[in-house]
Amino acid sequence: MASAAQDGFIHLTEDPQALKVVFNHFYTAKEPWDWVCLVIDPAKLAAKVVYEPAAPVGKAAPPAGYTTADGPLFPHLYGTIDSGAVIAEAPLRRHSDGRFAEIDGVVTGSELGAHS
């Protein structure tokens, strides 16, 4: 699993629909435990957020289409997540084969499917 200690920053996104692509690329069936999406107010983060191209998670390369110079930029948090910045916690639901299906209260299954 990605970590600030391993990668030097915490991976964030402003597009919760992109989470399905990322989670299913890096974590399908690898991590059997329950996952939670933190909804964060960036104005309440003390650490620096830098917008950069998609980065590897550990030694795994980003998904196809996320690695080009013209690809989307993602917020990377160079520090810790302040507890006061967390607005909500949303459980992630998974299919029986380990793929991520939806994020309760954030992204429905049909919205996630739009980025398959």
Q: What is the CATH number of the domain that holds 96?
A: 3.20.170.20
Domain hosting residue 94, numbered range: 4-113
Q: How far apart are the first and last CA of the chain?
A: 22
Q: pLDDT value at position 16?
A: 73
Domain count across the chain: 1
Contact predicate 28/95, CB 8 Å: no
Mean pLDDT, consecutive 10-residue stretches, the chain (116 aa), reads 68 79 74 79 92 76 69 86 91 82 65 32
Give how far Cα 97 sits from Cα of 20, 30, 31, Å: 14, 11, 12
Beta strands in the chain (DSSP E): 10-11, 35-40, 48-53, 73-78, 86-94, 100-103
